[in-house]
Amino acid sequence: MGIVKRQSIWNLASGYLGVFFGAMNGLILFPWAFPQNPEEMGLVRWVISASLLIGAVSHLGWPQTIVTYFPRVSSALHTRIINTGLLASSICLLILFLVAISLGDSLIIFFMKDYFDPSFWLVFPFAGIYIVFELYSSQLIHNQQVVFPYWLKDIGKKLLLTILLMAFGFGIISSIDTFLFLLMLGYSCYALFVFIAAKKIKISILEANKVWPKREMFRYSLVMLLTVSAQMSFGQLDILMIGSFLGLAAVAQYSIAFSFGIVVAMPMKAMNASLRPIISKYVAEGNWEELRHIGMRSLSTQWVVSSFLFLVILSVSPWIFNILPEAYQGGQSALFWVAAAQLVNVSTGPSGLILVASKNFKWELYANLVLILFALTAGATYIPTKGVEGAAIIFFTAIVLYNLVKLVALYRLTGDLWLGIKFLKSFTWLVFGVIFHFMFWDLLFFVNIDQLFMNAIHGSFYSIIEILVFLIWTFFGLYILNLSPDLKSSLNRILNWNKK
């Protein structure tokens, strides 16, 4: 687990720095740069989401295929396999572009309620850049060089957005079109950096005559195409439905809640990024005992850290949303459900990585197709009446169903759910923390919690008090309840550092 710990720490650092820049962008810089025009924030968020969806369809599942199959084929074939993916992805992206042109402006009107903008067409070059970045990042991930691409993805992209927002706010950038073009140029540079790093990987020429399993890889890639497309569709569906039913201003409000709530999943994202190539290797070897051991250890650590972050978000959210401009405040009711959905994702640990790399990889596809149907049906009836909170509740419900399906698939594969008594104890510990949050101020101070945060100074003071209480509660969980021995050991080393 040494390399996992080291890379997880780096990825965790990048994740939280990314969250910092993302929060600063969403909570401060976007409202400052577009004080009266949340639609323009919604446009930027919409273009990014739509391009990710188109890119996920166009890359044909090849990045996932690379990570899964590179351990099984000669390294001399890796470049050839990547070039095949680039060619196939380019053809697919061109076909989608031609279809969009044939539909014309009616496509923009359908996806952007009451806001017609030709920037819609930028989603295709953005998608092409995304494809190049993902394909060569997968080669780096296979080579266990996961830190560099994740730092670019987590920090680089958000920092670029920070710089552009500041330039827009100070009048250096004068139009939203220029803003989007510069954003695309920056993303292109990141894809170039990943390409250069991947080309530095040394390839063994001695194995050049070995044959790669084309038919098997293309079958797997087809399923991954449908799976990743379904995942991406579901992941971006809330943004697209909100834009269609409620308009781009609501997209901006929901995006703030989402960028704030996503912090809960950062520990899982950081650790799973490091585990991904290791899990692919163990699945290929059929080493289920070691996989279960890794899965249980990572879950215990992820859950405690993510639960603490969830409690912190509950503590500061009333104050944060109160200091936003009024046009951006509509997402507070959605935040709880967005953050809770991330916590549900954490509860199943790295099971998704195992299923994708195993013979049961089709379960991921089936689960996402069902969830897309659920989200479309529920969203069409619920979002127009319940707004962004309705979208968040649908998102949460779908995530719960999705993770239940993952647990069933994991049980069919391994005969175990990988939860156990320790997870139930950790879950109970979290529930008491959530109850404390909703009852603390009412019971002890006989005041309504919403009124405490009307004043910015008072709100920050009360948030700090509650965070300190939850910090003590987390130390109680670690040192008294022993919820995560690995995390406790890491904290002990940090606390004893000065004594050595």
pLDDT in tens, 22-48: 777 877 788 888 877 777 887 888 888
In order of 146, 472, 488, the CA distances from 479 in angstroms are 32, 10, 7
- Are 89 and 250 in contact, with CB atoms under 8 Å apart? no
Tokens read off for 245: 């039913």
Reported in sequence order, the residue ranges of 84-226 that DSSP labels E, i.e. its strands, are none
What pLDDT does 27 receive?
72
Q: What parts of the chain have a pLDDT lower than 70?
A: 1-16, 71, 104-117, 144, 202-211, 225-237, 270, 273-274, 276-277, 356, 361, 364, 440-459, 497-500
CA dihedral 481, 484, 490, 494 (to 10 degrees): -30
In order of 104, 323, 469, the CA distances from 437 in angstroms are 50, 21, 10
User: Can you say whether the dihedral through the CA atoms of 472, 478, 483, 484 is positive or negative?
Assistant: positive
Which DSSP symbol is given to 291? H
The identity of residue 468, as a single letter, is L
Q: Compute φ and ψ for 479, nearest 5 degrees.
A: -95, -20
**Tokens 């990889």 belong to residue:** 361
- CA dist., res. 158 & res. 190, Å (int): 12
What pLDDT does 431 receive?
92
User: Can you say whether the dihedral through the CA atoms of 46, 313, 396, 150 is positive or negative?
Assistant: positive
Q: Three-class SS of residue 294?
A: helix
Task: State if pTM tops 0.85.
Answer: no
pLDDT in tens, 106-116: 666 666 655 55
- Are 220 and 69 in contact, with CB atoms under 8 Å apart? yes
